[in-house]
């Protein structure tokens, strides 16, 4: 991953998103990181043809709450894909492990339950610098990669 630029994509290989509707659920925890990820995802969807009025955003307090936010979005909005944006950084306790596992499992469960893809855009880094590097820093932006994934998954 350290050699991959998360922001690179070849637009000729991505379907046009003009007629698609997207949901983006954003964690407010580690806001400087999640806002960078959101900007990357939003700008990429627009660059690939999505209309801004067809991109719906929900905010949730933390990454663990992404699951409920995405479930609510999937149950109440007419969308073609939802992107879950969060950031969990390793601390001194096991909390990191529980949150990461719960969020990963929850998003997997949403993909099984609903016929609309839920895209995992949750950074689970050891340090704040690693998160900075992956949210618009030297490694690009995972939000960009997630938007491309969302568009491609709508075509399955």
Residue 35 has pLDDT above 80, yes or no: yes
pLDDT digits (tens, 9 = 90+) for 99-116: 889 999 999 999 999 999
- Residue 11 is given by DSSP the state G
Q: For residues 46-75, give the mean pLDDT.
A: 97
pTM: 0.94
Q: Are 14 and 145 in contact (CB under 8 A)?
A: no
The whole-angstrom separation of Cα 73 and Cα 141 is 24
Residue 37 included in any domain: yes
Q: State the total domains in the chain.
A: 1
Active-site choice (11, 95, 108, 138): 95
Q: Is 152 a catalytic residue?
A: no
Domain span at 131: 18-153
pLDDT digits (tens, 9 = 90+) for 117-147: 999 999 999 999 999 999 988 998 999 999 9
Strand partners, 122: 86
Token pair of 76 as six digits: 């109440």
Confidence of residue 8 (pLDDT cuts 50, 70, 90): confident
Rg (CA), the chain: 15
Q: Which positions ≥6 away from 67 have C-beta within 8 Å?
A: 84, 102, 103, 106, 107, 109, 110
Q: For residues 85-112, give the mean pLDDT.
A: 91
Higher pLDDT, 59 or 133: 59
Q: CATH no. for residue 131?
A: 3.40.50.960
Q: Are 132 and 33 in contact (CB under 8 A)?
A: yes
Residue 11 included in any domain: no
């Amino acid at each position: 991953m350290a050699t991959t630029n998360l922001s690179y994509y070849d637009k000729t290989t991505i379907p046009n998103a003009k007629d698609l509707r997207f949901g983006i659920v954003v964690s407010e925890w580690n806001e400087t990181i999640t806002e960078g990820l959101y900007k990357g995802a939003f700008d990429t969807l627009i660059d690939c043809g999505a209309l801004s009025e067809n991109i719906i955003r929900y905010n949730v307090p933390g990454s663990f709450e992404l699951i409920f936010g995405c479930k609510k979005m999937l149950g109440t909005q007419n969308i073609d894909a939802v992107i879950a944006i969060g950031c969990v950084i390793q601390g001194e306790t096991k909390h990191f492990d529980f949150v990461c596992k719960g969020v990963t499992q929850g998003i997997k469960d949403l993909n099984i339950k609903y016929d609309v893809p839920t895209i995992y855009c949750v950074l689970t880094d050891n340090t704040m610098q690693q998160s900075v590097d992956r949210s618009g820093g030297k490694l690009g932006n995972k939000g960009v990669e997630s938007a491309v994934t969302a568009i491609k998954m709508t075509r399955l």
